[in-house]
Amino acid sequence: MRILHFADLHLGVESYGRPDPATGLSTRLVDFLRTFDEIVDFALTNDVDLVLFCGDAYKSREPSPTQQREFAKRINRLASNGIATFLLIGNHDLPNAVGKATATEIFDTLAIKNVCVSGRPQVCRLETKSGPIQVASLPWPRRALLLGKDESKDMDLEQIKRKMEEALTRIVEAHARSLDPSIPAVLAAHVWVAGCRTASEKMVTIGQDHALLPGNLANAAFDYVGLGHVHKHQVISDSPPLVYAGSPERLDFSEEEDEKGFYVVDINNSSSGIRSVEYAFHPVSARRFVTIEAVVAQDDLDPTATVLAAISQRESQVKDAIVRLHITLPSSAQTQLRDNDIRNALSSAYHFTIARQTEDPVRVRLGNMTAGELPPVEALKAWLETKKVSPERVRTLLEYGEKLASSDIAETG
């Protein structure tokens, strides 16, 4: 049994894009569809039995008809070629009211062969080219469906979060008990897992959103646990594999260093009847994001040459990339920058922005001296005089200032 696991497609993100003259589509939508095509092409040419999509098909809960059309085209390519496709509902897919439909539910409504959509916790048995497989689902949880109004009306946010986590854990345990152990089984979940890392490399702890501990999901009844919601691909645990596929396309500069792609999972039967699992990450050609830092010194005689040198060092990465150039320079050098030369050096980029930050030594002058040349209390007194503070207020503040200056705090910090 071969499974392709991906998530967080986010069709509709158009940041850094522009209208494509040939199609009228945003060039960034074209980027996202190109990586989606890489995933579909791999599935079609590498004997994949099941495509497991773990949530967030679109950026918005109300995608445009064009975005829905392009998504459906690619799902149809999979389904019409006999590849079972499982679509989980993520938080970006949810409508703003419980009774409203999600954009992906149309596949279930039309009863598209080989496509299953899950917007509620359930266990689906899917038929594939290599036999049946069980897919247990944990879509992004809606409080209204897990906790009744009477149950949560007197709870604070922390209590509600804890109750949600308990409810989700019970659902996973119930899924595991309902499985047929003789048939391969996977869990598809769109959730926070405590301890995972986001695209910015920060560790996610249990905070405002409900988050499950790895042990709540890593049930031995599952051969593989495919996760969505976090955009950085990572393996949380190995037994069973608990894996975030990440997003297949970079959304912004917080994902600049992240490799993008999908996971391929092989579930194998041994002669003893015990199943083994192998999985590997496969990268896609996502659009590069590149940050260039250029620092101009106070005594730099040719600031433009310094900036161009910083760009030249990253020349091979700039072509067709989304680039941001940060220039740190003294204010006196602002007028010495040759903007056209800098823009020309970035002309091969797909998109670029230039930001300037001036950094001059700050020395506050108090009369004929700077603040750094005066004792602390004298500096405070001179500063208060420049602010025209009333004599009574000056006496009070100087009294506190003298106490602070003579304290251990002043000596240590």
Q: What is the pLDDT of residues 201-256, one digit of tens each?
A: 454 444 456 778 899 999 999 999 999 999 999 999 998 999 999 999 999 999 99
Q: Which domain holds residue 319?
A: 289-358
Can you give the pLDDT at residue 103? 80
18 and 69 housed in the same domain: yes
323 and 398 housed in the same domain: no
Task: Give 108's Cβ-side CA count (13 Å radius).
Answer: 15
**249-276: burial string, b at 16+ Cβ within 10 Å, e else:** bbbebbbbebebbbbbbebeeeeeeeee
Q: What is the pLDDT of residues 282-292, one digit of tens each?
A: 999 999 999 99
> Is omega for the bond preceding 240 within 30 degrees of 0, making it cis?
yes
Q: How far apart are CA 115 and CA 69, in angstroms?
A: 16
Can you give the pLDDT at residue 362? 54
Q: How far apart are CA 315 and CA 348, in angstroms?
A: 9
With 0-12 CB in 10 A as exposed, 13-18 as middle and 19+ as buried, what is 114? Answer: buried
Tell me how far CA of residue 190 lies from CA of 6, 52, 53, 329, in angstroms: 11, 12, 10, 45
200 and 297 housed in the same domain: no
Can you give the pLDDT at residue 203? 47
Q: Among the three residues 338, 358, 378, which one is the final residue of a domain in this structure?
A: 358
Is pTM, for the whole model, over 0.85? no
Tell me the CA end-to-end span of the chain in Å, nearest whole number.
Answer: 63
Q: Among the three residues 261, 283, 305, which one is the final residue of a domain in this structure?
A: 283
Among candidate residues 72, 191, 90, 180, the one with its CA nearest the CA of residue 135: 180
Q: Where are the beta strands (DSSP E) in 79-178?
A: 84-88, 115-118, 122-128, 131-138
| CATH number assigned to the domain comprising residue 198 | 3.60.21.10
Tokens of 315: 């020349």
Vertex 287, ends 281 and 290: CA angle to 5°? 105
What is the residue-wise DSSP string for 344-403?
A: HHTTTSSEEEEEEEE------EETTEEGGGS-HHHHHHHHHHHTT--HHHHHHHHHHHHH
Domain count for the chain: 3
Q: Among the three residues 313, 334, 358, which one is the final residue of a domain in this structure?
A: 358
- Mean pLDDT, 10 residues at a time, over the chain (413 residues)? 97 92 90 97 98 95 92 96 96 74 79 89 95 95 61 67 84 95 96 82 50 89 96 94 96 94 93 87 97 94 96 95 96 92 97 90 56 69 76 82 64 40
15 and 49 housed in the same domain: yes
Can you give the pLDDT at residue 410? 40
308 and 271 housed in the same domain: no
Q: How far apart are CA 152 and CA 142, in angstroms?
A: 13
